[in-house]
Amino acid sequence: MNNLRNHVQLIGNLGKDVEFRKLDNGKAIARATIATKEVFRNSKGEKVVDVQWHNLVGWDSIAEIMQVLLKKGKQVAVQGKLSHRSFESKDGNRRHISEIIVSEFMPMG
């Protein structure tokens, strides 16, 4: 178990178009969200659809390509690592966010 890694693979649909921008330091960043869906039966035998939303972040060349290839509603497979961070919001409250730092992606259709 010495090879444990932080590695995430998801297939989902984009909830909106990619938000792309260049930072003051010249780096490019792209942000997007994807929805994944799991369908199962609960203990009463009722069908349950569980939708989870995931925040994606791409940097530099990945960000540039995400901006071009990914559009709202499109299905995409992503690979990356899970990142957790916190920040202080404009209203002064502490916020926590989980993001997938994208290392690879593939549009699926």
Q: Which pLDDT value is given to residue 2?
A: 61
Spatial contact of 55 and 84, defined as CB atoms under 8 Å apart: no
**Radius of gyration, alpha carbons of the chain:** 16
pTM of the model as a whole: 0.85
- As a whole number of angstroms, the distance between CA 75 and CA 64 comes to 18
Q: Please say if the pLDDT value at position 70 is more than 70.
A: yes
Q: Tell me: the pLDDT tens digits for 7-56?
A: 999 999 999 999 999 999 999 999 999 999 999 999 999 999 999 999 99
Spatial contact of 107 and 32, defined as CB atoms under 8 Å apart: no
> Which of the four CATH numbers 1.10.760.10, 2.170.130.10, 2.40.50.140, 2.40.30.10 does domain 8-107 have?
2.40.50.140
What are the extents of the domains in the chain? Answer: 8-107
